[in-house]
Amino acid sequence: MDFNLLVGGQAGQGLKTVNSILGKVLFREGFNIFSSSDFMSRIRGGHNFMQLRISDQKLYGPDNEIDLLIALDKKTAKIHKEQLKEDGIVLIDGKSEIIDSRAILVPASVIANDINPKGINTVFVGATLKMMGLDLENAEEILPDFFVDEILEDNIKLLRRGYKAVEKIYDNLKKNVTGKEPEIFIDGNSALGYGALSGGLSFYSAYPMSPSTGIMNFLAQQQKDYDLVVEQAEDELAAVNMAMGGSYTGIRSMSGTSGGGLALMNEAIGMAGISEIPLVVADVQRPGPATGLPTRTEQGDLLFAVNTAQGEFPLMVIAPRDHKDLFYSSFRALNIADEYQIPVILLSDQFNADSSKNIPEFDFESLEIKRNLIKKADYGKKEYKRYEFTDDGISPRAYPGQLEDGLVLIDSDEHDEKGHIVEDGEMRKRMVDKRACKLEKLIEKDLNEPEYFGEEDIEYLLITWGSSYGPAREAFQLLQADGIKVGLLSFNDVWPLPKNKLKNLAERVELVTVEMNSTAQFKSLIASETLLDVEHDILKYSGRPFTGKEIYNRFLDEVIDNG
């Protein structure tokens, strides 16, 4: 069973509320969920929509074919009519024009005017649940999470009236799903923030910038229950420097932004590199340059992140592939930044950030926070050198005031072992080499090879990084079902680039990258790091995410037919 629901309307009509209530209800009913959002950069008006895909099978991304369309305005029905399946259904207000025989008129305005004129969206929630053959018990339990006491009773009435309004014409689309492991339903930004919180995050500073703002919103709500401070800075420069300041004092700190904000943070990231201050920055990508499409998605910041700031210094770039990965990657990023005293950039994007899905409950027992601060008792009377030369390039790190006789100096200029500014050429060379050799240890000890899906005997290899994994995984399954000998290689760590598994697989197959950018940036990165020739690329840069069927069809057209 694979069922796709879309709710559309104008900003301000309560689309997010409808989507969130339905998502939580369907999750409680035992379905697998993938929820994605598409909204314009405005507070009121325009056309926005959100999609809920539900199934009794595991889901990896959205689908554009619609089974049930909830049209909160006429424009939604007209725009998405072509996506509606032949046997699909449109729920539309009784005052709207009928688009065709698939439309079911819901007297939402009339019902709302009777009870609360602002509650049209809740009427549609009730009607939708009835059309899907679900009862109201879960929805009524969930409503207090969305409405304050003063209007809660009104919304319960609106829900019930909407449910009753379509009682005689509904089709029961429900399937029983049993025997599932415990799961949670979560959006990508919250998953990333929760991973950081679980990793010991104590300070988060950011300037609001779509689509990264959800991380700050989530963490701000956790301050009362956790040892956490969240600061909305005046701009991205202040935000990243605050995070560095927090890290310098010994607490785990992090900042978040999107591409334009990362551009402003570049100099500070370089300072974190030369001063060896642990720093994690989440870059939730959106289409650029400049303001670009602030509420859409893209994977256009890869080479920018890999080459951020001037000069040469070690850093790591991690591109989480899905919601589960966002949680574990942000936890891991804090550990890696701390251990190697380097900047780590988490490359998420709007597709992952604003979508929601059900995933297995987090395995907290497998997580271990690894700090790299020196222990005062073990240091004794040994002279403290903040940038002491070591075999692996990782120097002893203390926070200010930790050692009675140890002065903790940092500097954005080149420096000696104690942190004093120098202009000596030999010292400069030794410090550059010291910092660089951290990556040798990281690659040997902590770099993750990409995950492979498929048989040993293949002819084609789909290569993805970050969020393109989900739709590509679905396309891979469709291609396999057609008997095409294809494998899928999904990268999470993208810098330094893990090479072993890719080189082993590339010896005998045609390579195809799947990316949401216009210049095949990962294909270029592979070529520069491995000298491998990637024969094909499937690219998309319209601001909308891939679907599995889209990649499947383009693979057949662009790779098989033109191969």
Half-sphere exposure of 322 (CA within 13 A, CB side): 22
d(CA 552, CA 482): 10
Q: For the chain, which residues make up each domain, given as ranges? A: 2-165, 185-366, 376-445, 451-560
- Name the strands in the sheet holding 2-11, side by side, starting at the edge strand that comes first in the sequence: 103-106, 84-93, 66-71, 2-11, 45-55, 32-38, 356-360, 183-187
Determine the 3-state secondary structure of 357 from DSSP. Answer: strand
| CA proximity to 412, closest of 307, 506, 275, 563 | 275
- 179-212: buried (b, 16+ CB within 10 Å) or exposed (e) per residue? eeeeebbbbbbbbbbbbbbbbbbbbbbbbebbbb
Inter-residue contact 170 to 124 (CB < 8 Å): no
Q: Which helix (H) or strand (E) holds 283?
A: strand 279-285
Q: Which helix (H) or strand (E) holds 102?
A: none
Q: What is the DSSP letter of 97?
A: P
pTM for this model (two decimals): 0.82
CATH number, span 2-165? 3.40.920.10
Short-list 300, 307, 337, CA closest to 196: 337
Q: Are the beta carbons of 69 and 52 closer than 8 angstroms? A: no
Answer whether 359's CB lies under 8 Å from 470's CB. no
Alpha-carbon distance 277 to 242, whole Å? Answer: 12
Q: Which residues pair with 488 in a beta bridge?
A: 453, 462
Which two three-digit tokens encode residue 141? 């339990």
Q: Are the CB atoms for 106 and 68 separated by under 8 Å? A: no
Class of residue 59 by CB neighbours under 10 A (exposed 0-12, middle 13-18, buried 19+): buried
Select from 516, 504, 510, 505 the least CA-distant residue to 464.
Answer: 516
Strand pairing category for 203-206 and 253-257 = parallel
Distance CA(121)–CA(13), nearest Å, equals: 7
Same fold, 185-366 and 451-560: yes
Specify whether domain 185-366 bears CATH 3.40.50.970: yes
* Distance from C-alpha of 528 to C-alpha of 537, rounded to nearest angstrom: 16
451-560: CATH topology: Rossmann fold (3.40.50)
List per-residue pLDDT tens for the chain, 563 residues long: 789 999 988 888 888 888 899 999 999 988 999 988 887 776 667 888 889 999 988 888 888 889 999 988 888 888 898 899 988 888 888 766 666 778 888 888 889 998 998 889 999 999 999 988 888 999 999 999 998 988 999 999 999 999 988 876 654 333 333 345 678 889 999 999 999 999 999 999 999 999 999 999 999 999 988 889 999 999 999 999 999 999 999 999 999 999 999 999 999 999 999 999 999 999 999 999 999 999 999 999 999 999 999 999 999 999 999 999 999 999 999 999 999 999 999 999 999 999 999 999 899 989 999 998 987 766 666 788 999 999 999 999 999 888 877 788 888 999 999 999 999 999 999 999 999 999 999 999 999 999 999 999 999 999 999 999 999 999 999 999 999 999 999 999 999 999 999 999 998 899 999 999 999 999 999 999 999 999 999 999 999 999 999 999 999 999 997 76
